[in-house]
Amino acid sequence: MADPSGSCFVEDILIQDGIVQKTGLFTPPKNVLKINAGGLVCLPGLVDMHVHLREPGQTHKEDMVSGSRAAAAGGVTALLAMPNTIPPCDSPEAVRFVTRRGASLPVRVYQAAAASKGLAGEQLNDFSVLKAAGAIAVSDDGRPLPDAGIMKQALIHAKAAGLPFLSHCEDFSLSRGGLVNEGEISRILNVPGFGNDGEAVCVARDVAVAECNSLPVHICHVSTAESVNIIRSAKARGVSVTCETAPHYFTLTEDLLLSRDADYRMNPPLRTRRDMKAVLAAITDGTIDALATDHAPHSPAEKADFFSAPNGVIGLETLLAVSYTRLVKPGHITLWRLAELTSQAPSKILRLPFAGIKPGAPADFCLFDPDWEFTVEPEKSRSKSRNTPFKGMTFFGKVKYTICRGKVVFDSEHKF
């Protein structure tokens, strides 16, 4: 077991009142619940900064309870819910609805408020009021702010309110509702394509607005080689830009779409092998700050027809295993870097406290078995939906226990 922030190895962890009391070798007190963690790796609880919980409005896909149970099953102890619910989370009342319910959920649920009224991209909300209600970020995720001038105002107001702005980068004049990546696959399927330019043009715009005005911006779900290059060079110039990618962008490629299975459709779409490698390289060299799932549940009925299905895939339960298998096992990154990508960096971007696993820190962590290989079986998901693009694939790194606020919120032996 290890603590990536303190770089120390610990043998035992004593938790009391939700707080880590002691680490190291010691005789545990009597009358405590003991977990045998032999052979398991302990990581700080994952912080997934991009999740769609679908509540209110679309609870047939997911709700806060099912979504947070899926999170716990994936080793995630904190998540950020995106505001594109029905109605959108664009008022203090809507933010309070989530924060009130958060306390009774197995993991910590935070809310991103909508940047614009009704997510329409026209009139900005009062970010300070939303922050006072409990929002910890602002975003119109699912859509870009369509106008660079509004984007500039949004970044100014977000900075003034002390909230990170999370940007969904898509230029609608280029993406044009494309179902898959633009190129060979879109031509074979004879469907509209969303090319790399549709993302990269908007990334370049947002980075330029941030750079020219010395404002921070966070870019969501980076999927293309060009986006990665723009962000890498911006960082080298000292621009205050951070970004995330999702496990499917460094694991899967567009050829899966030839199956005409909508479970492989998300926005932005799966790209080419060249893009996948670029994303992987950007994770390795530090250009990409964080891993997030963009967990986007849709019911099997909604996903049944390839052409009319909505975009989105679930990912909370596979975030750790896919990342461990794809990144750590082949030696692209270390376990410490994985903890940074999945916990420390997203906490920092969202301005949440991060204390690692040491005395005095909140007891939020997961224990996983690095040698346990398992097959992803959608029907066993804790999510209400089944739309995982990793179905049938095998991964190492099964989560055995998740502990949040000092309580066992997931135990692989006993279903929670």
Structure tokens at 47: 């912080």
Residue placing its CB nearer to Zn ion in the complex, 42 or 222: 222
Residue placing its CB nearer to Zn ion in the complex, 220 or 319: 220
Q: Which of 55, 62, 63, 141 forms a contact with Zn ion (CB under 5 A)?
A: 141
Plot region of 397 (φ>0 → left; ψ -120 to 50 → alpha; else → beta)? left
Structure tokens at 374: 């398992």
Tell me which residue of 90, 174, 100 sits closest to 130, measured CA to CA: 90
Smallest distance, Zn ion to C-beta of residue 159, A = 21
Q: Is residue 263 at the binding interface for Zn ion, with CB under 5 A as the rule?
A: no
Helices 196-213 and 148-161 cross at an angle (nearest 10°) of 50
The residue number whose beta carbon is nearest to Zn ion equals: 168
Q: Which of 3, 63, 141, 294 is catalytic?
A: 294
Q: Is residue 171 at the binding interface for Zn ion, with CB under 5 A as the rule?
A: no
- Part in contact with Zn ion (CB under 5 A); list of ranges 60-68, 149-157, 216-224, 388-396: 216-224
Strands in 365-375's sheet, in edge-to-edge order, are 41-44, 365-375, 394-404, 407-411
Residue placing its CB nearer to Zn ion in the complex, 158 or 403: 158
Tell me which residue of 35, 58, 36, 139 sits closest to 350, measured CA to CA: 139
Buried b (16+ CB within 10 A) or exposed e, 225-245: bbbbbbbbebbeeebbbbbbb
Rounded to 5°, angle at Cα 94 from 89 and 97 = 130
Smallest distance, Zn ion to C-beta of residue 225, A = 19
- Part in contact with Zn ion (CB under 5 A); list of ranges 168-176, 181-189, 275-283, 295-303: 168-176
Residue placing its CB nearer to Zn ion in the complex, 199 or 226: 199
C-beta of residue 360 within 8 angstroms of C-beta of residue 15: no
Q: How far apart are CA 385 and CA 382, in angstroms?
A: 8
Smallest distance, Zn ion to C-beta of residue 382, A = 23
Structure tokens at 43: 């990581």
> What is the torsional sign of CA 177, 181, 183, 188?
negative
Site string for Zn ion, 266-285 (x = CB under 5 A): --------------------
- Part in contact with Zn ion (CB under 5 A); list of ranges 27-35, 106-114, 166-174, 298-306: 166-174
Contact positions with Zn ion (CB under 5 A) in 219-238 = 220
Which residues face 245 on adjacent strands?
Answer: 291
Structure tokens at 323: 């990342």
Total of chain residues touching Zn ion, rule CB under 5 A: 3
Q: Is residue 168 at the binding interface for Zn ion, with CB under 5 A as the rule?
A: yes
Smallest distance, Zn ion to C-beta of residue 85, A = 14
Identify the H or E element spanning 339.
helix 335-339
Residue placing its CB nearer to Zn ion in the complex, 297 or 362: 297
Residue placing its CB nearer to Zn ion in the complex, 220 or 339: 220
Smallest distance, Zn ion to C-beta of residue 5, A = 29
Residue placing its CB nearer to Zn ion in the complex, 267 or 402: 267
Q: Is residue 170 at the binding interface for Zn ion, with CB under 5 A as the rule?
A: no
Q: Is residue 206 at the binding interface for Zn ion, with CB under 5 A as the rule?
A: no
C-beta of residue 48 within 8 angstroms of C-beta of residue 350: no
- Part in contact with Zn ion (CB under 5 A); list of ranges 30-38, 155-163, 214-222, 366-374: 214-222
Smallest distance, Zn ion to C-beta of residue 254, A = 18
294 is catalytic: yes
Q: Is residue 62 at the binding interface for Zn ion, with CB under 5 A as the rule?
A: no
Look at residue 81 and give its three-state secondary structure. Answer: strand
User: Where in the sequence numbering do the catalytic residues fall?
Assistant: 294
**Which residues of the chain form contacts with Zn ion (CB under 5 A)?**
141, 168, 220
